[in-house]
């Protein structure tokens, strides 16, 4: 029986404590609600309040004071002898620069032995040798020139001024260019006037001189491939007072 009474007392105490807690909770609920609402309003106020504007204080520029540099004392002009003694020569400057460049380039690669590069020497192209003409050809050219000069000298030697009365009265003068074909035997095959002297008397006399001439034969080797050759000669005529 005592045990039953004790259980009843415990149950009653527990129910009383539960009821007391319920009452306390009911009384504390409005206070807690107000506290939560107040905390929420404070947070909203903090979020809604704008940040205070930062005041910009203008910086006043410092007054600039002009500072005059101290006067520079005039230096005496150096004499030519001192300038020449102090100024380095261009060759010494170039030599020092080259030595510095060589030392700076050789410093990092001191452990590596330089490889000598072969120097390429430009070879001079040999000029093509000019082949000299054969002696026979040279001799033939010389013989031909000599023969032509001989023909011209011969014509000058047999040339005569016209002896007619008309020629002595009019006394024409001028140069006649005459052509003529000469065979290898020295015989005139044909002749004509290449350029007239504007005088029929002189032109006729020049043709007569060529046609009646006794020319020498061709030398051996001259015009070897031709049976005849055409020549051209200039014959000048002028009446002399002694005639």
Tell me: the pLDDT tens digits for 31-83?
676 777 767 665 655 655 555 566 666 666 565 555 565 566 555 555 554 44
Q: Give the pLDDT band of residue 14 (cuts 50, 70, 90).
A: confident
The residues with which 235 forms a beta bridge, in sequence order, are: 176
Closest by Cα among 165, 173, 157 to 210? 157
Name which of 35-39, 142-146, 201-205 the model is least confident about. Answer: 35-39
Torsion over CA: 102, 103, 108, 111 (sign): positive
Tell me: the pLDDT tens digits for 99-135?
555 455 544 444 444 555 556 555 555 555 566 555 5
Statement: residue 15 has pLDDT above 90 = no
Q: Give the pLDDT band of residue 184 (cuts 50, 70, 90).
A: very high
Residue 124, both tokens: 């001079």
Classify residue 95: in a domain, yes or no: no
pLDDT, residue 235, reads 96
Note the helical H segments in 49-89.
80-86
Q: 228: domain range?
A: 140-237
Name which of 84-88, 97-101, 138-142, 187-191 the model is least confident about. Answer: 84-88
Name which of 6-20, 37-51, 204-218 the model is least confident about. Answer: 37-51
Query: Which of 75 and 216 is assigned the larger pLDDT?
Result: 216
Range among 16-25, 54-63, 166-175 with highest mean pLDDT value? 166-175
Classify residue 158: in a domain, yes or no: yes
- The reply to whether the predicted model has a pTM over 0.75 is no
pLDDT, residue 119, reads 62
pLDDT, residue 148, reads 93
Classify residue 231: in a domain, yes or no: yes
Classify residue 225: in a domain, yes or no: yes
pLDDT, residue 12, reads 78
Classify residue 212: in a domain, yes or no: yes
Number of structural domains (the chain) is 1
Classify residue 39: in a domain, yes or no: no
Classify residue 41: in a domain, yes or no: no
Q: Give the pLDDT band of residue 28 (cuts 50, 70, 90).
A: low
Listed in sequence order, the residues at least 6 apart from 170 whose beta carbon sits closer than 8 Å to its beta carbon are 201
Angle at 242 between CA 237 and CA 243, to 5 degrees: 60
**Residue linked to tokens 């170039």:** 94
Cβ count within 10 A of residue 191: 20
CATH code: domain of residue 211: 3.30.2420.10
pLDDT, residue 60, reads 64
Q: Measured between alpha carbons, how far is 243 from 173 in angstroms, rounded to an integer?
A: 15
Classify residue 54: in a domain, yes or no: no
């Amino acid at each position: 029986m005592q045990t039953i009474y004790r259980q009843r007392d415990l149950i009653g105490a527990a129910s009383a404590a539960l009821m007391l807690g319920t009452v306390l909770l009911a009384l504390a609920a409005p206070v807690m609600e107000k506290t939560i609402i107040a905390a929420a309003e404070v947070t909203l106020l903090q979020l809604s309040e704008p940040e205070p504007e930062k005041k910009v204080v203008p910086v006043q520029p410092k007054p600039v004071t002009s500072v005059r540099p101290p006067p520079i004392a005039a230096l005496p002009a150096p004499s030519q002898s001192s300038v020449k003694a102090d100024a380095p020569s261009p060759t010494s400057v170039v030599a020092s620069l080259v030595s510095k460049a060589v030392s700076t380039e050789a410093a990092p690669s001191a452990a590596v032995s330089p490889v000598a590069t072969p120097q390429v020497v430009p070879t001079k192209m040999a000029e093509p040798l000019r082949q000299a003409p054969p002696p026979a050809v040279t001799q033939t050219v010389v013989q031909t020139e000599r023969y032509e000069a001989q023909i011209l000298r011969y014509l000058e030697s047999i040339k005569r001024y016209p002896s007619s009365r008309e020629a002595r009265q009019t006394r024409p003068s001028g140069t006649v260019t005459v052509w003529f074909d000469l065979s290898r035997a020295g015989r005139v095959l044909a002749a004509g006037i290449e350029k007239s002297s504007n005088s029929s008397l002189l032109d006729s006399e020049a043709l007569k001189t060529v046609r009646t001439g006794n020319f020498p034969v061709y030398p051996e080797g001259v015009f070897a491939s031709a049976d005849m050759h055409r020549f051209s000669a200039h014959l000048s005529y002028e009446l002399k007072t002694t005639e």
